[in-house]
């Protein structure tokens, strides 16, 4: 995955972005336990920024692992570059692998999170993501569980 420099990532996120009408949660074509919601972003004047938000949620019924991977990406002619990503893996057992522990990326910088993040609900995880990225969703994004109960 291509990453932008941390300073550029922080500058892009400092402006405060809005996601209008985020796409509904959609099941992944290969992994039936994974679902995704995404949207482009607008700046304060309502102009498209070329930055997209991708929210991934996975609840595996066999392993009982829950994964939140919420990312912000800059669209470039050659593909996407990571601006920010929050990754939280929740397990009933303690995570020993450092790479699987909760963490966030600001561009090319990886920061290990607190073990308490593994206890967060979907709403707590999304709220933290919104605080760190200064992104607001209009209207708020439904939880994946609510979205699939309606279908």
pLDDT tens-digit series, residues 74-105? 999 999 999 999 999 987 776 666 777 899 99
Cβ distance 75 to 62 under 8 Å? no
Residue 46 corresponds to which tokens in the numbers above?
């309502």
Query: pTM for the full model?
Result: 0.91
Count of beta carbons in the 10 Å neighbourhood of residue 115: 11
Q: Can you name the residues that pair with 129 across neighbouring β-strands?
A: none
Band of residue 151 on the pLDDT scale cut at 50, 70, 90: very low
Tokens of 110: 């990886």
Cα torsion at 115, 121, 125, 130 (round to 10°)? Answer: -150
Here the tokens at position 29 are 């074509």
pLDDT of 19 reads 95
Q: Are 84 and 13 in contact (CB under 8 A)?
A: yes
């Amino acid at each position: 995955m291509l990453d932008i420099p941390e300073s550029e990532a922080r500058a892009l996120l400092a402006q405060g972005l809005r996601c209008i009408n985020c796409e509904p949660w959609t099941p992944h074509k290969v992994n039936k336990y994974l679902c995704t919601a995404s949207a482009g972003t607008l700046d304060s004047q309502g102009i498209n920024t070329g930055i997209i938000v991708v929210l991934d949620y996975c609840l595996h019924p066999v392993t009982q692992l829950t994964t939140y991977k919420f990312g912000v990406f800059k669209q470039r002619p050659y593909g996407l570059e990571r601006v920010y990503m929050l990754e939280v893996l929740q397990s009933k057992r303690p995570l020993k692998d450092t790479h699987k522990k909760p963490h966030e990326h600001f561009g090319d910088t990886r920061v290990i999170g607190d073990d308490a993040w593994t206890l967060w609900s979907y709403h707590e995880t999304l709220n933290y993501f919104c605080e760190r990225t200064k992104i607001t969703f209009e209207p708020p994004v439904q939880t994946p569980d609510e979205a699939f109960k309606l279908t």
